[in-house]
Amino acid sequence: MQRIGEKLLGEVIRDYVQEVGLEDRLRAVDVCGMWREVAGERVAAATGSIYFADGILYCRMSSSIVRNSVYYSLDGIRAEMNRRLGKGEEVRKIVLR
């Protein structure tokens, strides 16, 4: 058996994810999972459902009081999420419902 080239396991997995087209779905999982860390436990507890698509993070809030208090810090939350993702402007907008 002849080796043509060697790659690290991480490179092989990254190439496979790109080839299969799972990159966007994995990014959505990262963004949704990050909501609890960045927004905080109190806000996460009041978040019913969360969905990320086309650069927009949709959050359904179960408490209007929490939704109103989070509304004023959305720019900071969005900036922190983009900083943690490290790929420019990944989260363009956050919509609270």
- Which pLDDT tens digit goes with each residue over 48-90? 999 999 999 999 999 999 999 999 999 999 999 999 998 788 9
Q: What is the mean pLDDT of residues 13-40?
A: 89
Residue 53 located in a structural domain: yes
Q: Where are the alpha helices (DSSP H) in the chain?
A: 9-20, 23-39, 41-45, 64-71, 74-85
* Residue 51, token pair as written in the block: 């969905």
User: How far is residue 81's CA from residue 38's CA, in Å, rounded to a whole number?
Assistant: 7
What domain count does the chain have? 1
71 in any annotated domain: yes
Residue type, 57: L
- Could you tell me the pLDDT band of residue 14, with boundaries at 50, 70 and 90? confident
Is position 2 within any domain? no
Q: What domain range includes position 54?
A: 9-96
Residue 4 maps to a domain: no
Residues 3-12 have pLDDT tens digits of 667 888 888 8
The answer on pLDDT for 94 being more than 80 is yes
In a domain, 1, yes or no: no
Domain membership of residue 3 (yes or no) is no
Structure pTM?
0.81
Structural domain includes residue 75: yes
Residue 2 has pLDDT above 80, yes or no: no
